[in-house]
Amino acid sequence: MPLVGVLGLIESGGGFLVWHGVEGVVIVVLGATILTLSFKHHRGVVVSALLALLSVVSAGIGGVMFVASGFSAGGASMQMGGSFIAAYALYFIVLYYTK
């Protein structure tokens, strides 16, 4: 499905779905900022920040695939949820080792 079609599905899903997508884009930007700032610390922090950002991107891809499937692809939903949990845990590790 082309990107325009996915954006149309998101828009037709209502304001909450649009807001959820905007939050996702903001989280990717913040993740890139955290990765950039992590280079001031040791390698473990950089690796954790990189893996966290990749998990956020994976969650976004899962979300787009879930919307494109008409909200019926269980695997895409699982990817979205599992990637969120991974990102949450990895950002906790980043926070813990940079305090």
- CB-hemisphere CA count at 13 Å for 93? 19
Q: pLDDT category, 68, cuts 50, 70, 90?
A: confident
76 neighbors 62 (Cβ within 8 angstroms): yes
State the pTM of this model: 0.88
Q: How far apart are CA 13 and CA 9, in angstroms?
A: 6
Q: Please state the rounded mean pLDDT for residues 21-33.
A: 94
Q: Which residues constitute the domain of residue 61?
A: 3-98
What tokens were used for 81? Answer: 């949820």
Question: What is the count of structural domains for the chain?
Answer: 1
